[in-house]
Amino acid sequence: MKHIKFIQVVFIVILLSSFLSGCMEKTKETPAATPAQTVKETAVATTPTIAPAETERTKSNYIVYIDDYSFYRVIESTYKNVVYENFTFSINVGDNVKWDSNTVYDDILTIISDQGLWANGSARLMNNKEFNYTFLNPGTYTFRIKEEKKILPQTIIVKP
């Protein structure tokens, strides 16, 4: 029985020593010195930022319908809505306007530019004929129908 007690004591000592060895702080070793690394500066090539090129605006084409009574309707050739109030509408430089006659008979209608954009006789419209003009300068332009003095003039504002 003395041997059993001895074995138990030895077992407890071994158990405690292994438990305590895990809880004890280990001594830190001093690491060996390593040589310092030198930092080399490298030039970074920068790419200049290029601004996107301005895209040219698509020129618009407008159709002004004229009958014996007025400049009665304006549409944009892609059928976008056009604000047309008091016989006035706005376009941009480079846009084209086509005046289209919808007279019932063989009436001749002559479009006159108050600013003298063309000779008076060159804008003659006769039954379903048309006249085109491309506006190259900003400004406010007024047009009349020579044969119909009572018809109110049309105004086109050309924006830059």
Cα angle for residues 75, 76, 80 (degrees, 5° grid) = 95
Tell me how many degrees the CA angle 140-144-145 measures, rounded to the nearest 5: 155
Distance, CA of 75 to chain centre: 24
Positive/negative CA dihedral, 145, 84, 94, 58:
negative
Cα Rg for the chain, rounded, in angstroms? 47
Instruction: From first to last of the 160 residues of the chain, give the pLDDT tens digit.
Output: 555 666 666 667 665 566 556 655 555 566 666 666 665 666 666 666 676 666 677 899 999 988 877 888 899 988 787 898 999 999 999 999 999 887 666 678 889 999 999 886 678 887 667 899 999 999 999 999 888 888 899 999 999 9
Q: Which DSSP symbol is given to 151?
A: S
Q: CA distances (Å), 17 to each of 8, 14, 149, in order?
A: 14, 5, 122
Pairing relationship of beta strands 139-145 and 96-101 according to DSSP bridges? unpaired
Its pTM stands at 0.62
Superfamily grouping for domain 61-159: Cupredoxins -  blue copper proteins (2.60.40.420)
Q: Of all helices (H) and strands (E), which one includes residue 109? A: strand 108-113
The per-residue pLDDT for range 3-19, each reduced to its tens digit, is: 566 666 666 766 556 65
Model pLDDT for residues 26-50, shown as the tens digit of each residue:
555 666 666 666 656 666 666 666 7
Q: Give residue limits of the domains in the chain.
A: 61-159
